Amino acid sequence: MSYAPLRRTTDSSRSTNPVTTRLENSLPNSQQNVVKALYFVTADADPNLLPRLIEPFAKLGFVPDRVHADREEFQNHTLRVDLRLAGLSNRYAMLIEKALRSVIGVQSVITVLE
């Protein structure tokens, strides 16, 4: 069985999602600015960690543009994960940051918006 590569949902298909549309319509225009979000997560190394970190993106209909994870050599129990996504509003960036901070095992989240 062949699988198509994962891609971020396009704006046209995202607008048909009633939850996403309701959130976008309730935001002031100043918060609907499009940004590129970079999340740098430090967490306990756990086999279930990566799916839990991607879940907040999926719940909002997004697929991260980049997911990169490294286990620290000197600390076998720490994982550093870099997640990136372009083309989302400030509000969505904040919602994803809040959700990442609530994931079990996460020690810190640094968010950079461009």
Kindly give, in sequence order, each residue whose CB lies less than 8 Å from that of residue 8, ignoring residues fewer than 6 positions away.
Answer: 62, 63, 64, 65, 85, 87
Q: What is the pTM of this model?
A: 0.72
pLDDT given at position 19: 47
Residue (of 50, 45, 37, 29) closest to 96 by Cα position: 37
Annotated domain spans of the chain: 33-113
Output 44 or 10, whichever has higher pLDDT: 44
Q: Say if CB 52 and CB 104 are below 8 A apart.
A: yes
Task: Indicate the pairing of strand 106-113 with strand 78-89.
Answer: unpaired
Please, are residues 17 and 74 in contact by the beta-carbon 8 Å criterion? Answer: no
CATH of domain 33-113: 3.30.70.260
Could you read off the pLDDT of 80-96 as tens digits, one per residue? Answer: 999 999 999 999 999 99
Question: What is the rounded average pLDDT for all residues in the chain?
Answer: 81
Q: Which residue has the higher pLDDT, 55 or 24?
A: 55
Structure-token pair, residue 63: 């697929």
Distance CA 23, CA 21 (A): 5
How far apart are alpha carbons 39 and 111 in whole angstroms? 5
Residue found by looking up tokens 């989240």 in the block: 109
Task: Give residue 26's pLDDT band: very low, low, confident or very high (50, 70, 90).
Answer: low
Distance CA 62, CA 42 (A): 21
- Amino acid code (one letter) for 22: R
